[in-house]
Amino acid sequence: MVNLIWVFMTVFGVVFAIFNGTMNEVNEAVFSGAKEAVTLCIGLISILVFWLGMMRIAEDAGMLKILAKLFRPLVKRLFPEIPNDHPAMGYILSNMMANMFGLGNAATPLGIKAMEEMRKLNGGSNEASRSMITFLAINTSSLTLIPTTVIAIRMNYNSANPTDIVGTTLVATICSTIGAILIDRFFYYRRSRKG
């Protein structure tokens, strides 16, 4: 699926450029896209190093286990495949909390750690497990309580009340998260019916 989409975007783009006379822009896009990706990753290094360092201390001190224990009843329902007190649970919870407070930068390293733990649970297979798909669905639907970036942009354009979209964003994000969980469940049952 990803392979197809990837090839489609690139090939359709190039073929379209032939008829649209945008070959120049496409040439530029190849290099600017690659550069943007590397810049993004370099920018991630600082955050990843700092947060994974911090989280290692938290893990060594047993904080993630405590966190996992506290919220087990709720998260257990979302991730039935993850055993109690498993570190994956702690990372999933920390990731969700970081997301809720709009700390996307802190959320990414935690999410990656969560994925790593879930992969171990899945026997190191390179296939996405049920828990991974659920986790991604929740993450892509965003859990933000305060959309800081958007508020900043609204301030930039002299909004009379930059924060008045907080309420609507919250309702929309709750809908999309519930939607994500339901859609994820639906696909899971379809998969398991097929065997």
Partner 1 sequence: MGIVSVISLWFIPVLIAFILMYGTFKRVPTYESFVEGGKEGVKIAVSIIPFLVGMLVAISVFRASGALDFLMGYIRPGLEAFGIPADIVPLAIIRPISGTAALGMTSDIMATHGPDSFIGRLAATIQGSTDTTFYVLTVYFGAVGIKKMGDSLKVGLLADLVGIIAAIVVVTLVFGG
Which positions from 166 through 195 interact with partner 1, judged by CB under 8 A?
166-169, 171-173, 175-177, 179-180, 183-184, 187-188, 191
Give least dist CB 68 to partner 1, A: 15
Whichever of 38 and 74 has its CB closer to partner 1, that residue is: 38
Using alpha carbons, list the distances in angstroms from residue 172 to 55, 166, 177, 184: 31, 10, 9, 18
| Binding to partner 1 in span 123-142, by CB under 8 A | 126-128, 132-133, 136-137, 139-142
As a whole number of angstroms, the distance between CA 130 and CA 88 comes to 14
Q: Compose the 46-85 pattern: x for residues touching partner 1 by CB under 8 A, - for all others.
A: -xxxxxxxxxxxxxxxxx----------------------
Question: Binding segment for partner 1 among 42-50, 68-76, 77-85 (CB under 8 A)?
Answer: 42-50
Which of 100, 97, 98 lies closest to 144 in space, CA to CA? 100
Q: Which stretch binds partner 1 (CB under 8 A): 26-34, 67-75, 80-88?
A: 26-34
- The Cα–Cα gap between 169 and 171 comes to 6
Q: Which residue, 86 or 119, has its beta carbon nearer to partner 1?
A: 119
Can you tell me the distance from the alpha carbon of 106 to that of 61, in angstroms, rounded to the nearest whole number? 19
Q: Which of 14, 70, 80, 84 touches partner 1 by CB under 8 A?
A: 14
CB of 82 within 8 A of CB of 118?
A: yes
Give the C-alpha separation, 94 to 151, whole Å.
24
CA–chain centroid gap for 103, Å, is 12
Between 37 and 70, CB nearer to partner 1: 37
DSSP class of residue 142? -
Q: How many angstroms separate the first and last alpha carbons of the chain?
A: 20
| Contact string (CB under 8 A) for partner 1, positions 88-107, x = contact | -------------xxx--x-
Q: Which of residues 139-158 bind partner 1 (CB under 8 A)?
A: 139-142, 144-150, 153-154, 156-158
